[in-house]
Amino acid sequence: MTQMDFGAARRAMIDSQLRTSGVNAPFVLDRMGTLPREDYVPDHARGFAYVDRAVPLGGGRFLAPALFHGTMLEEAKPRLGDRTLVVDGGSHYLPDLVATLVGSLETISADEAAALAQTGADAGAGGEYDLLLVDGAVEKLPDALIAQVGDNGRVVTGLVRDGVTRLAIGRKVAGHVALLPLAEMGIPHLPQFDVAREWSF
């Protein structure tokens, strides 16, 4: 069996998935061109690490598509002074992708982030973070998670509405974050952040 050339696969990802979709920021292309996505999936899935869709990892975890991560980084514009919180989708790829681009980084799982609303526990000191990145598509961000973001802090996440997933950005103003949906793209859904359905008669 021929050994896959992962370096060539990364270059193809840059050229055929990112550049063709308008992701051209040099820092994004450099970071994604050097971090090996194949190291973030099980051995049997390494050959799928560079496909243009999410790679299931088992147990509800996933490696999201490269286009989502690349567009997220370009919209987030991470800075070396940023105190950053990442809600991880289960692969730990996004935290490692952004780690060298920000000042400090904390990572929590989607389950831990969703539990903030239930327990009132903190991911850290309230209002501590300048940048919040969510590695998946949510219906709604819990207020307890938004509380971790400082005033004027930035939020970049996937957003799901009526079954359609889009990248969304926002900024915290007066204690609230209004998310602006941007490009429609394939983003794994995080059911931990679903809005409770109400019955009507």
pLDDT score for 196: 74
- Rounded CA separation 108/114 (Å): 10
DSSP string for residues in 133-182 = EEEEEES---HHHHTTEEEEEEEEEEEEETTEEEEEEEEEETTEE--EEE
The pLDDT value recorded for residue 115 is 87
Tokens representing 30 are 């450099």
pTM for the model stands at 0.91
Do residues 39 and 55 lie in contact, with contact meaning Cβ atoms separated by under 8 Å? no
85 closest CA partner among 131, 120, 116, 126: 131
> Domains in the chain, please, with CATH?
6-193 (3.40.50.150)
Q: How far apart are CA 87 and CA 101, in angstroms?
A: 16
**Widest CA span in the chain:** 61
DSSP for 122-133, please give it.
-SSSTT-EEEEE
CB 60 within 8 A of CB 68: no
The dihedral of CA 163, 169, 56, 65: what is its sign? positive
Rounded Cα distance between 91 and 110, Å, is 11
Ordered per-residue pLDDT tens for the chain, 201 residues: 347 899 999 999 999 999 999 999 999 999 999 999 999 999 999 999 999 999 999 888 999 999 999 999 999 999 999 999 999 999 999 999 999 999 999 999 999 998 886 665 555 556 789 999 999 999 999 899 999 999 999 999 999 998 899 999 999 999 899 999 998 999 999 999 988 766 555
What pLDDT does residue 119 have?
63
Tokens of 105: 């980084």
pLDDT of residue 1: 33
